[in-house]
Chains A and B, each alone.
Chain A
């Protein structure tokens, strides 16, 4: 199987413990995430803060060591890859960060920022590296005179373009983008989404796109995975999930997402409460504490993912 495949990924953190640390507790940030990103496709990972979507995306690239589970890329096991294999894999799997202010080194010129990945991976001689950096800069829509300037001289949207250029300069096959447009204004957000659209068309790029915004996901992704408290609760083709959500949480998320149309004011079920802490997750189905349709079984056992339509999986006792 080509592309990325993630099976039963788990990432737990330990907090507290040790001297003055109090009682050690386990934060179950990612409990059970399985997904696959085929070559050239774009998969969205959507959920509210604390659902584990960022941690999952980082664990997939081994920016955090996963606690359990299997991640393969073109059949190579990422967790057990030798250092040499991992270096080659890293070149093919790149990351775009959310905050264009924090993810660039303010003391490094754009030229250095863009040439460094090439240097690290031992690609080309200095002249070739310069050419590749210049080519990628114009591809992301920045002028060549940006090369010798520093991050503080750029606006948020321009910085995000630099972040994208840095990820793409290695010509990766897979880009994991963690909320790449959340920090931007609407007009600039659309510019960046358009840029990512264009880059996707021009190259053979797969995306794992993490976002909390269903509108952005709908625009950009072919397939969507909805996460809640470390679990993927629903996955399937984006359009089906948006137009006909199945899991009660997806329904709530969809109905709570504001639509710019006053004629369409919805009144979703007035459920109380917020996402529970992953340090103390509820028993059974993680959503039962807020679910308007929960029944006894939901409190006792975690429902397994069931296929309700081709390519469409839901983890809920109602199905």
Chain B
């Protein structure tokens, strides 16, 4: 399968007190068409920075892409001029955000906001764009689209606003959709509706979707593949089924054990002690070692992402020295 989007060794740095610190480092991700890749991690893990770097949406001052390539259909987005990049955004790669109310313009009708994208990227007339906007609202299953197209965001409920955001993102038929916690602000019943919608749209259009979330339950519902991030690095990546059945990295395992589940009785939760290290205070060696129950002296060396053998393909990788040793011994 050829990759639609191929991120290689991406390192994004922020300036904190006059020094550059890597918010994410050596991130490798590849996304195929008609695939949902979930990027999961806690706050501060770098999952949003990864998405924002991909679209080069980080502030010009105080943030920079230090190293790495972002290959979209063979072109390196990191090297494009701002003008070229503006054509990619929304057209080839679109993004939806967590809080639809702050991402929509309260002074414009929802129809005009969808139409704006079509007028800019596809040069459509206002009337034609509004017609298309109505069809898009229908496609994202907003009831009564002919009336809704003339309404303002405050007249929409939370779930409907997120649908409107999705309609804007999909207006130019992008090949890649970056979804940054799109359902976090929604109630579970509405969250399920939006997840189903995104999954259907992915299938119908053969889009690649990068789905960023902190919720492992949501990952299990929607993802084909998963990348787990911790303190700016990918610590484990695997096929979705495999990751949940055989988590290889201690952090993934600990996350699964810390999550209270609705489907089974758990008398004790196992919390992960401590908290995610800040961007300026990452420990030497393995970043997870201070919180890891398996930590050994050799965890003082920073581990690389190495293959984990097992049934069902070889694309399972984890960043753990102890797992690497176990692999060597086997």
Contacts and interface: CB of A to CB of B under 8 A. Distances in A.
A76 interface: no
Interface stretch (B19-27, B112-120, B185-193, B313-321): B185-193
B265 A194 contact: no
Given A187-B272, A188-B275, A259-B261, A219 B266 contact: yes
Given A194-B269, A242-B262, A274-B158, A261 B244 contact: yes
A186 B42 contact: yes
| Consensus secondary structure, chain A interface | helix
B256 interface: yes
Contact of B271 (A187, A212, A253, A271): A187
Contact of B260 (A212, A219, A255): A219
Contacts, number: 135
B220 A262 contact: yes
Interface string B203-234: 00000000000111111110100000000000
B2 interface: no
Interface in A250-264: 252-264
Interface string B71-92: 0000000000000000000000
Nearest to A239: B265
A2 interface: no
B254 interface: yes
Given A48-B188, A48-B189, A187-B258, A258 B269 contact: no
A259 B220 contact: yes
- Bin the interface of chain B by size: 35 or more
Interface string A177-203: 000000001111111011001000000
Contact of A186 (B188, B196, B214): B214
A74 B259 CA distance: 35
Contact of B254 (A187, A214, A267): A187
Nearest to A51: B187
Interface string A108-139: 00000000000000000000000000000000
A213 B269 CA distance: 15
A245 to B, nearest CB: 11
Contacts of A185: 42-43, 214, 275-276
Contacts of B281: none
B293 to A, nearest CB: 13
A256 B275 CA distance: 29
B217 A260 contact: yes
- The residue among A242, A255, A274 with the most chain B CB atoms within 10 A of its own CB is A274
Given A155-B275, A215-B259, A260-B261, A187 B220 contact: no
Contacts of A267: 196
B111 interface: no
A254 B262 CA distance: 8
A274 B42 CA distance: 28
B220 A261 contact: yes
B216 A186 contact: yes
Interface in A239-291: 239, 242, 252-265, 267-268, 270-272, 274-275
A216 interface: yes
B327 interface: no
A157 interface: yes
A114 B86 CA distance: 53
A268 B240 CA distance: 21
A257 B272 contact: no
B271 A191 contact: yes
B255 interface: yes
A270 B266 CA distance: 30
A218 interface: yes
B174 interface: no
Contact of A260 (B43, B158, B244): B244
A186 B259 contact: yes
Contacts of B42: 185-187
B263 A268 contact: no
A155 B277 CA distance: 11
A270 B260 contact: no
Interface string B270-291: 1111011000000000000001
A264 B187 contact: no
B106 interface: no
A49 interface: yes
Contacts of B158: 274
Given A190-B269, A253-B188, A265-B220, A259 B258 contact: no
Interface in B143-200: 143, 157-160, 187-193, 196
B309 interface: no
Contact of B187 (A194, A242, A268, A275): A275
30 contacts: A157-B275, A185-B43, A185-B276, A186-B214, A186-B216, A186-B259, A187-B271, A187-B272, A189-B258, A191-B271, A191-B273, A194-B269, A213-B260, A218-B266, A219-B266, A219-B269, A242-B263, A256-B189, A258-B192, A258-B217, A258-B220, A259-B263, A260-B217, A260-B259, A261-B220, A262-B223, A263-B241, A272-B141, A274-B160, A274-B190
Instruction: Report, nearest first, the 10 A-B pairs whose CB atoms are least far apart.
Output: A258-B217, A190-B271, A187-B272, A190-B258, A48-B187, A215-B260, A219-B260, A191-B271, A185-B42, A256-B192
Given A214-B262, A219-B269, A256-B191, 9 more contacts: A185-B43, A187-B42, A194-B268, A215-B259, A215-B261, A218-B266, A258-B221, A264-B263, A268-B192
